[in-house]
Amino acid sequence: MIAAAGELAVSLGLTPWREGEATAAAAWALEQWIGERGGTEDAEARQGIVQVRRFVEAHGDYRFEQLDGEARAVPNRAGWRKGEGADREWLIPSETWRAEICAGLDPKLVARALADAGILRPAGDGNQQVRRIDGKLMRVYVIGAAIFDGGGHEG
């Protein structure tokens, strides 16, 4: 609309611009805005990726019980972790996902955004996998080490 209004002003002789300058200026301004915003995708999805990354960065070792290493007590456990390096996974139960990790956001939208970015490892029937933890089958969100790649989002 801005480009059209500018071009209309040019055609009516209201500005000293040449034809096409208003469109070029509007395109430049839009590019700058998209760059500052961080992209064109949904802002809540982008915020969700950042929020999950920050939670894992802040709590990834001490609030997630190690499943494949030396066992230790984990007060206020947020979930479980296993693997090392690029194979590291964080397994997060639904209630922790909703109440803490996605606090203030739509947890399903965040899961979908993470899955689309290759960070969340979904099951064939949805965003949660069934994993055996302490001898029980549990549905958990599985976050891979790609969370630190940010899915193209800095935060």
Q: Are residues 138 and 65 in the same domain?
A: yes
Q: Are residues 90 and 66 in the same domain?
A: yes
Q: Are residues 120 and 142 in the same domain?
A: yes
Q: Are residues 26 and 77 in the same domain?
A: no
Per-residue pLDDT of the chain (155 residues; tens, 9 = 90+): 999 999 999 999 999 999 999 999 999 998 888 787 667 667 788 899 999 999 999 998 899 999 987 878 888 999 999 999 999 999 999 999 999 999 999 999 999 999 999 999 999 889 999 999 989 999 999 999 999 985 544 44
* Boundaries of domain holding 147: 43-152
**Structural domains in the chain (count):** 2
Q: Are 6 and 25 in contact (CB under 8 A)?
A: yes
Q: Are residues 107 and 125 in the same domain?
A: yes
Q: Are residues 22 and 94 in the same domain?
A: no
pLDDT recorded at residue 40: 67
Phi, psi dihedrals of residue 82, rounded to the nearest 5°: -155, 160
6: left (phi over 0), alpha (psi -120 to 50) or beta: alpha
Q: Are residues 49 and 90 in the same domain?
A: yes
Q: Are 42 and 113 in contact (CB under 8 A)?
A: yes
Whole-structure pTM value: 0.71
Neighbour tally for 144: CB within 10 Å: 18
Tokens representing 57 are 């960065």
